[in-house]
Amino acid sequence: MEIRKIAILGSGRLGRGIAEIAATKGYNVTLFTQGAGSQNAPHRIEQSLNRKVAKWAMTETQKRVILNRINYTADLKELTNADLVIEATIDHLYTKQELLRTADRLCRPEVIFILTSATLPVYEIARSLTRSNLLVGARFIPPVVDVGVVELSYSPDTDKNAVEVVKKFIARLGKQAVRVHEAAGLVNPRALVTLINEAAYLLDEGSASADAIETIIKGSWGMEQGPFEMADRMGIDIILDWMEQLQKRYGDRYKPAPIIYRLVRQGKLGVKTKQGFFSYNEDGQRIDQPGQGQEDN
């Protein structure tokens, strides 16, 4: 089956990134927008493309062509037209199961599903679907447009042809599919939350300011974003949820630092609330000056 129409369930940072890169590569995309903040999805995607236009990476005409390939809807009945379904929702077992069960009923029987979960193994979701052999794990890493690898996982019962179809799709997006074995947290999410959590413990202990920790880690490892800005852009509530799920599976090495609980309790969730470890404007750009991070939280 030729894949032309992509359905993406979830319009958060991950879903928007996949939608943008898929549309850039010529796919027609339906982005399902449900929940808080979903109304900002068209604006966020256009913002991202505007930055490329400003850098002469694409023309205004090319941007318009890409935007015209993305359709936004909250009507799940549109899933009947999909050739490939990608879920990009929050990492809650019940939420993903219920959404994919609905998609399972609406989609043609041969349509392959992609699971993007950071903490839930494929088999835990697959067993609730009639097409359990057509669910493939592909963990895209934000910012999706810029990161060149995708963590590929699947259960022993997954159809091998479905895996090959997903591999070819990932390759067409210009990314490398790297096989990882089924385990909660895969590779990048576990490594990422460990880095963020240790940086948060350093901040809690008063070892250095948020900006100092960020600058040292970025400068030492050649990173564009340090652990605190990564957490802010992912959503500190999402990071906390990952940590709590991983703590249940692997023990207290994933126990969240106190400041992470405090920021979530205060509603300081990062870019989406304009305040997290750092402060941000409407366009998601940092507005605080070096040395003004949340060292006193």
Contact of 25 with 47, CB cutoff 8 Å: no
b (16+ CB within 10 A) / e for 174-206: ebebeeeeeebbbbbbbebbbbbbebbbbbeee
Contact of 6 with 22, CB cutoff 8 Å: yes
pLDDT score for 32: 95
- What one-character DSSP code corresponds to residue 256? P
pLDDT score for 293: 47
Give the neighbor-by-neighbor strand order of the sheet with 5-9: 70-73, 28-32, 5-9, 84-87, 112-115, 135-140, 149-153, 176-179
- The domain spans of the chain are 5-179, 192-273
130 vs 8, 101, 244, CA distance in Å?
A: 20, 8, 30
pTM higher than the cut 0.75: yes
Least confident stretch, 27-31, 157-161, 181-185: 181-185
Domain 5-179 has CATH 3.40.228.10: no
Q: Dihedral angle at the C-alpha atoms of 156, 158, 160, 161, nearest 10 degrees?
A: 180
pLDDT score for 280: 95
Average pLDDT over residues 161-173: 97
Average pLDDT over residues 103-115: 97
Distance CA 120, CA 105 (A): 22
Taking only the tens place, the pLDDT of each residue in 194-233 is 999 999 999 999 999 999 999 999 999 999 899 999 999 9
192-273 has which fold? N-(1-d-carboxylethyl)-l-norvaline Dehydrogenase; domain 2 (1.10.1040)
pLDDT score for 25: 97
Residue 296 predicted with pLDDT over 70? no
Which residues, in sequence order, are bridge partners of residue 31? 8, 72
Residue 36 predicted with pLDDT over 70? no
Instruction: Kindly report the backbone phi and psi dihedral angles of residue 119, in degrees, each rounded to the nearest multiple of 5, phi listed first.
Output: -125, -10
Taking only the tens place, the pLDDT of each residue in 223-261 is 989 999 999 999 999 999 999 999 999 999 999 999 999
